[in-house]
Structure 1
């Protein structure tokens, strides 16, 4: 059914090209336009209320109506609405935030560098690593290893590290020098009769084989999300990160922890790095750093990374990289206030407690005929849908089952996200147990509706 041309939806479809969207489908159907938010809810133009069970795009930790963040932005806009950090310039909020982030890092870090998004941050990290390799007289050490189903952004370099076909197909990506090893998804990728311990050992061995085949001297770093997000909310098996870290240490390869989704309480700890015992040299931070009230991201690097870069900038006269809006004073001020609220209100501990409640409720849904696996930690989770539990298979068209369930869930007033045939859940950290109960009830109803529609 075509949209009404002069409606908001119609004008949007006429003039606005959306990301991650079928452009022809949008022209025909229009977009779902949200008009306001309150707490964990958003409301469309008809006034219909939705639980935003994905926190927008994994990001609105404090929900959609935190007045203190609005006030922080207004105050900074009135005092200093913009300044940059190029050529040794700076401003108070960026300096204060850098000190705050380095101080709260779960492993020793030395410096913070500010960008505007997770994609920009990961793109910048690669440039830093190439710069560092040249500074160290190791110009061949430029390759980056990531994982299948990992997500690290959509700029050309970040998308090359991403391990999802949608981000490569017809873009002529990935670029040379970006390698992908296997995902940590035991349920989906294990061999027959293979234990989790054996699976972890196999993944570590596969990584080592790749490193040796490419030449350890050519590998700059390994990048990974503590929990795979857009790849289907995949929680690694016990001991996975320790096994991967041992291989990287053996060949003196740096570890980048992409904390864009996991950081600032999502996993029930301040950082996913803590949850899984990682020891990264570099951390990528974004999304919940400002609850997405302002575009903002940060890179944390340790001295092992910083010192060669600093020496090379001294030799050349400058580190020739940066963004006009990087470290924006309004974004930095909002980030500082956001972190204060997270700490003052104990939202990390809250996420652990309410997250355990949500995980227990979702786990019960594995008895449903359409649910093959539940996985999650803290306030991030996924339900992988199947039509054949024994074969771990869904419908013939990949993603069709997830899309059908997600559509039904939206009609019931829950915004989820279908990642293939996995329904993702990542509600704001402020969600209560009572609100989780409402969410779980609607999920169960949507599954029943989907099963009935498919005649299963």
Structure 2
């Protein structure tokens, strides 16, 4: 029966499910691995094989798989009231209480929550709100948004164009070419060019300011950045970078959007990292993923009092704020988020990450013994590894070698799931993992890189 079920699901998936980031060169022949169960830090596939989930689903299953508390909260809310529309002046209990909870946890005056269904839609909403904000202030020319090369902000049309990862754009159209502009990633490994961290930070801040002046300060509305780049390769900026970029934004009457879809809800040992770790309070904060620990889709765009004071004024006689989603503030998703936050508080999860995260970072440094490992970096439970064909010039392997995929395959054989991205490997496990789990991930990577070295160098 298991084999029959596996075959039927495999065929249905191959024939009908269009996957994000599908490799159509081999998808029809290889199909998909079918994940059937998950518990704690482990997942199981349809063959019964068990894996340590080293990527927390996709940066999101922070409190671990199979939490009955969240299942019960979701079930209870469904039986009580699964949905009613949030338009106009109608609300529901979980959405209202979660908004208050988020306002109490976020720094500064980030007190106003606009709900969506994920990070992409939360970022799209942020850009639309930014434009509306400056229109309300009588500054309709302030429209341009500055993002960063290698930044990732989503897959909807605007968010995909905010994203600065070149490989995500091949074959797709770009929109808003005059609207969205990119500056350098804060990549201390590949971008420093022999500068000290202080000098490199000066370079990046100066580049940003020069770009604003080039575009015209009266035309530039906002800057968007992840505190630590996720899909771009776990890129950690030099110290002081974010606070200085924030200062430049204030100098030119721009809004700072912090995309904390990955870094929020404990991945760096804090509820939110912008102020606690990077020394600034953004004007807009973007949340998703860990807000429900991946149990149900939910996104949030959180606005400061100053931004909300402007957009909450009627734009005309009888005017209303004409943007929103059918599922804004969905009660079931908000119930899942409230229970996720309660679990994190009850289990002192932030303290756990502050204890376990540095162990993962320190233990992973042993991977530098491999000739094809150029850099190992990260913070707490975000880990990035660069694979290189030449350590001296930091040259990566050609795309045809599928360098990180080779390592991924070996890790998978040995029961650990990591994420391959070109010449980079990303690790982002559930926050509940132990130090022993950390060592397991790194030890399996160590073996996989050893096995892959000869293949990649031939």
**Same fold by TM-score greater than 0.5:** yes
Q: Give the count of matched residue pairs.
A: 453
* 2:288 alignment partner, one of 286, 289, 292: 286
For residue 172 of structure 2, give the secondary structure of its aligned residue in structure 1.
coil
Deviation at residue 304 of structure 1 after TM alignment = 1.8
Consecutive unaligned residues of structure 2, counting only runs of 5 or more, are none
How far, CA to CA, are the matches of 2:401 and 2:99 in structure 1? Answer: 41
How far, CA to CA, are the matches of 2:66 and 2:51 in structure 1? Answer: 14
Residues 201 and 243 in structure 1, CA contact (< 8 A), matched pair in contact too: no
**In the superposition, relative to structure 1, how do residues 146 and 407 fare at CA in structure 2: closer, same or farther (>3 Å)?**
same
**In the superposition, relative to structure 1, how do residues 40 and 26 fare at CA in structure 2: closer, same or farther (>3 Å)?**
same
How far, CA to CA, are the matches of 1:35 and 1:5 in structure 2? Answer: 10
Residue 240 of structure 2 corresponds to residue 239 of structure 1: yes
Deviation at residue 360 of structure 1 after TM alignment = 0.6
For residue 220 of structure 1, give the secondary structure of its aligned residue in structure 2.
strand
Specify the alignment match of 2:112 in structure 1. Answer: 111
Deviations 1:46-88 (A, max 9, x none): 1111111110110000111111000000000000011221011
Specify the alignment match of 1:368 in structure 2. Answer: 370
Deviation at residue 8 of structure 1 after TM alignment = 2.4
**In the superposition, relative to structure 1, how do residues 315 and 157 fare at CA in structure 2: closer, same or farther (>3 Å)?**
farther
How far, CA to CA, are the matches of 1:320 and 1:432 in structure 2? Answer: 47
How far, CA to CA, are the matches of 2:240 and 2:98 in structure 1? Answer: 33
For residue 399 of structure 2, give the secondary structure of its aligned residue in structure 1.
coil
Task: Using the TM superposition, name which of 125-134 and 93-102 deviates more.
Answer: 125-134
Deviations 1:286-333 (A, max 9, x none): 100000101001111012211121114564521111111111000001
Residues 9 and 33 in structure 1, CA contact (< 8 A), matched pair in contact too: yes
How far, CA to CA, are the matches of 1:261 and 1:454 in structure 2? Answer: 30
Residues 114 and 302 in structure 2, CA contact (< 8 A), matched pair in contact too: yes
How far, CA to CA, are the matches of 1:317 and 1:300 in structure 2? Answer: 22
**In the superposition, relative to structure 1, how do residues 387 and 111 fare at CA in structure 2: closer, same or farther (>3 Å)?**
same
**In the superposition, relative to structure 1, how do residues 371 and 315 fare at CA in structure 2: closer, same or farther (>3 Å)?**
farther
How far, CA to CA, are the matches of 2:230 and 2:457 in structure 1? Answer: 31
How far, CA to CA, are the matches of 2:457 and 2:164 in structure 1? Answer: 34
Aligned ranges 1:222-301 → 2 under 5 Å: 222-273=223-274, 274-301=276-303
Task: Using the TM superposition, name which of 162-171 and 312-321 deviates more.
Answer: 312-321
Task: Using the TM superposition, name which of 226-235 and 124-133 deviates more.
Answer: 124-133
Residues 268 and 377 in structure 1, CA contact (< 8 A), matched pair in contact too: no
Residues 164 and 231 in structure 1, CA contact (< 8 A), matched pair in contact too: yes
Specify the alignment match of 1:386 in structure 2. Answer: 388
For residue 236 of structure 2, give the secondary structure of its aligned residue in structure 1.
coil
Specify the alignment match of 2:427 in structure 1. Answer: 425
Specify the alignment match of 2:359 in structure 1. Answer: 357
**In the superposition, relative to structure 1, how do residues 346 and 315 fare at CA in structure 2: closer, same or farther (>3 Å)?**
farther
For residue 216 of structure 1, give the secondary structure of its aligned residue in structure 2.
coil
Specify the alignment match of 2:75 in structure 1. Answer: 74
For residue 344 of structure 2, give the secondary structure of its aligned residue in structure 1.
helix
Residues 284 and 302 in structure 2, CA contact (< 8 A), matched pair in contact too: yes
Residues 232 and 420 in structure 1, CA contact (< 8 A), matched pair in contact too: no
Aligned ranges 1:140-219 → 2 under 5 Å: 140-176=141-177, 177-191=179-193, 193-219=194-220
How far, CA to CA, are the matches of 2:380 and 2:439 in structure 1? Answer: 16
For residue 200 of structure 1, give the secondary structure of its aligned residue in structure 2.
helix
Deviation at residue 24 of structure 1 after TM alignment = 3.9
CA RMSD of aligned residues (A): 1.7
Specify the alignment match of 2:140 in structure 1. Answer: 139
How far, CA to CA, are the matches of 2:401 and 2:299 in structure 1? Answer: 31
Specify the alignment match of 1:395 in structure 2. Answer: 397
What is the TM-score of this pair, normalised by structure 2? 0.96
Deviation at residue 228 of structure 1 after TM alignment = 0.2
Specify the alignment match of 1:53 in structure 2. Answer: 54
How far, CA to CA, are the matches of 2:293 and 2:90 in structure 1? Answer: 27
Deviation at residue 438 of structure 1 after TM alignment = 1.4
For residue 327 of structure 1, give the secondary structure of its aligned residue in structure 2.
coil
How far, CA to CA, are the matches of 2:273 and 2:411 in structure 1? Answer: 28
Residues 5 and 11 in structure 1, CA contact (< 8 A), matched pair in contact too: no
How far, CA to CA, are the matches of 1:399 and 1:58 in structure 2? Answer: 26
Deviation at residue 370 of structure 1 after TM alignment = 1.7
Task: Using the TM superposition, name which of 159-168 and 95-104 deviates more.
Answer: 159-168
For residue 387 of structure 1, give the secondary structure of its aligned residue in structure 2.
coil
**In the superposition, relative to structure 1, how do residues 349 and 11 fare at CA in structure 2: closer, same or farther (>3 Å)?**
same
Task: Using the TM superposition, name which of 8-17 and 306-315 deviates more.
Answer: 306-315
Residues 389 and 457 in structure 2, CA contact (< 8 A), matched pair in contact too: no
**In the superposition, relative to structure 1, how do residues 189 and 455 fare at CA in structure 2: closer, same or farther (>3 Å)?**
closer
How far, CA to CA, are the matches of 1:106 and 1:376 in structure 2? Answer: 23
Residues 399 and 421 in structure 1, CA contact (< 8 A), matched pair in contact too: no
Deviation at residue 455 of structure 1 after TM alignment = 5.2
Specify the alignment match of 1:343 in structure 2. Answer: 345
Residues 352 and 379 in structure 1, CA contact (< 8 A), matched pair in contact too: no
Residues 6 and 46 in structure 2, CA contact (< 8 A), matched pair in contact too: no
Residues 77 and 332 in structure 2, CA contact (< 8 A), matched pair in contact too: yes
How far, CA to CA, are the matches of 1:385 and 1:121 in structure 2? Answer: 33
Deviations 1:207-244 (A, max 9, x none): 01100010101111100000000000111111111221
Residues 109 and 303 in structure 1, CA contact (< 8 A), matched pair in contact too: yes
Aligned ranges 1:319-334 → 2 under 5 Å: 319-334=321-336
Deviations 1:354-386 (A, max 9, x none): 001100111121122121001110111111111
